[in-house]
């Protein structure tokens, strides 16, 4: 995630006029459109959201941006959605492997013979 998402900096001028939502091209999820362009994640992948309500909330965050600049720190849902879509799939297997290796050492899971 770019540092600008965490600080109060303005990253650039607003380059779009209209913010809309539409069903994703594959019919599985929802997209936010900035004019005719699909909103993308910081890694340049199309942002595909699971629900219409989340897509509308993120669209409202983008629509709220002023003409003098885009302020990422005012878009917490956008940040959360990008983190969930880009970071969780990468780190989830590592977390699961780590937890599974600890289960054999946990006293709650050890069986006692009586």
CATH of the domain at 48: 3.30.2180.10
13: in domain? yes
Domain residue limits at 14: 3-109
Confidence at residue 89, expressed as pLDDT on a 0 to 100 scale = 74
> What SS3 class is residue 34?
strand
- Quick one: which of 61, 66, 76, 58 has its CA closest to 22? 58
Residue 114 lies inside a defined structural domain of this protein = no
What's the structural domain count of the chain?
1
Give the whole-angstrom CA distance, residue 109 versus residue 77: 38
* Lookup: tokens for 98: 């780590």
What confidence score (pLDDT) does residue 114 get? 62
In a domain, 39, yes or no: yes
Task: Tell me the per-residue pLDDT of 30-79, one tens digit each, with 9 for 90 and over.
Answer: 999 999 999 999 889 999 999 999 999 999 999 999 888 899 999 999 99
For the chain, give the number of residues.
114
User: pTM for the full model?
Assistant: 0.72
Q: Per the domain annotation, does 42 fall within a domain? A: yes
Strand partners, 38: 33
Instruction: Give the 3-state secondary structure of residue 44.
Output: coil
Per-residue pLDDT band for 99 (boundaries 50, 70, 90) equals confident
69 within domain boundaries: yes
pLDDT at 17 (0 to 100): 94
Lowest-pLDDT range of 16-20, 32-36, 39-43, 94-98 = 94-98
């Amino acid at each position: 995630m770019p540092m600008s998402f965490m600080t109060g900096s303005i990253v650039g001028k607003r380059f779009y006029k209209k913010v809309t939502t539409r069903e994703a091209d594959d019919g599985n999820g929802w997209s936010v459109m900035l004019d005719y362009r699909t909103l993308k994640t910081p890694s340049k992948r199309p942002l595909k959201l699971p629900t219409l309500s989340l897509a509308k909330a993120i669209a409202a965050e983008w629509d709220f941006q002023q003409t003098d600049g885009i302020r990422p720190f005012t878009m917490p849902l956008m940040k959360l959605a990008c983190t969930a879509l880009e970071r969780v799939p990468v780190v989830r297997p590592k977390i699961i492997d780590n937890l599974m290796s600890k289960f054999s050492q946990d006293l709650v899971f050890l069986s006692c013979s009586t």
